[in-house]
Amino acid sequence: MKAKIIAPSLLSADFTNLKKQLLDLQNVGCKLFHCDVMDGYFVPNISFGPSIISQIHKSTTVTLDTHLMISNPDKYISNFSKAGSSFITVHYEACENILATIELIKNENVKVGISIKPDTPVSVLENIIDKVDLILIMSVHPGFGGQSFIPSSLNKIIEVKSLIEKNNLNTIIEVDGGINFENIKLVSDAGADIFVAGNTIFKNENIVEAYLSLLKLIS
Ligand code: DX5
Ligand code: ZN
């Protein structure tokens, strides 16, 4: 069994106090930070880009998981790799030639992730799942933190898990959106390996305690 990992989504962090928050999480063993990049076209929101990710990379030793919610991701993959991302995930829906995009990410020597939005069926992954390291299932419509988990995402996790097993693969399943203390165990039982959590961690008055409590629920 793969180790289960909580990836705090920095989108919900306090950016005036970002370094302290990140180091507090690093100091209790947090292994992955989820960086949500939004361009105002692919999703109706704008967040941050490679320069912020590069600063985060220089300030912490935690692995960076970059989730590109942008149109035309090919153009920026190298910038996000240079900034210090260890995982780069693009949206299936944003790619004109998904195989070419996968190759571009692989050529940067970083792990490749493909994400699907809530309305995109798992079947689109059938021909590409053996070429990637990670599948990111969006359990909310991408764009904003703090939304409610879409229950049908559980079935999608189960479907992806069975696709992975059918093909004898070791692909990581990451789930993103609306994860909280009540649903994380269900998401874990469905087969997820990485759990992105934004509001549940950063809107808690004690972010370290929230992180550790989430981890306990899946350990
Ligand atoms: C949404 C982002 C998520 C978001 C998760 O588009 O991809 O990573 O920050 O935030 P919560 O956990 O608050 O739903
Ligand atoms: Zn995300």
SS (H, E, C) 100-169: HHHHHHHHCCCEEEEEECCCCCHHHHCCCHHHCCEEEEECCCCCCCCCCCCCCHHHHHHHHHHHHHHCCC
- Would you state the structure tokens that stand for residue 188, as one six-digit string? 């874990």
Mean pLDDT, all residues of the chain: 98
pLDDT band at residue 147 under the 50/70/90 scheme: very high
Q: 116: Cβ below 6 Å to ligand 1? A: no
Options 39, 65, 133, 176, the catalytic residue: 176
Q: Which of 36, 65, 133, 193 is catalytic?
A: 36
CATH hierarchy code of domain 5-218: 3.20.20.70
State the pLDDT at residue 163.
98
Residue 132 has pLDDT above 70, yes or no: yes
| Tens digits of residue pLDDT in 103-114 | 999 999 999 999
pLDDT at position 178: 98
Residue spans per domain, the chain: 5-218
How many residues in the chain? 219
The SS3 assignment for 63 reads strand
Q: Distance of CA 68 to CAs 34, 35, 91, 104, Å?
A: 10, 8, 7, 14
193 is catalytic: no
Tell the residue nearest (CA) to atom 9 of ligand 1: 145
* pLDDT tier, 1 (very low <50, low <70, confident <90, very high otherwise): low
Q: Does residue 9 have its Cβ closer than 6 Å to ligand 1?
A: yes
Q: What was the pLDDT predicted at 3?
A: 87
Phi, psi of 111 (to 5 degrees): -70, 140
Among candidates 115, 117, 123, which has minimal Cα distance to 163? 123
Q: What confidence tens digit (pLDDT) does each residue in 32-63 have?
A: 999 999 999 999 999 999 999 999 999 999 99
Tell me if residue 36 is catalytic. Answer: yes
Write the pLDDT tens digit of every residue in 133-146. Answer: 999 999 999 999 99
Is there an atom of ligand 1 within 6 Å of 197 CB? yes
Q: What is the pLDDT of residue 2?
A: 80
Mean per-residue pLDDT, 108-123? 98
Burial class (CB in 10 A: 0-12, 13-18, 19+), 200: buried
CA 67 to ligand 2 centroid distance, Å: 5
**What's the gap in Å between 128 CA and the centre of ligand 2?**
21
Ligand 1 pocket, residue 113 CB under 6 Å: no
113 contacts 134 by C-beta, under 8 angstroms = yes
Residue 74 in contact with residue 126, Cβ under 8 Å?
no
Reading the block at residue 147, the tokens are: 């939304």
Distances (CA, A) of 25 to 32, 140, 183: 10, 24, 22
**Residue 199: pLDDT over 90:** yes
For the residues 170-178, what does the mean pLDDT come to? 98
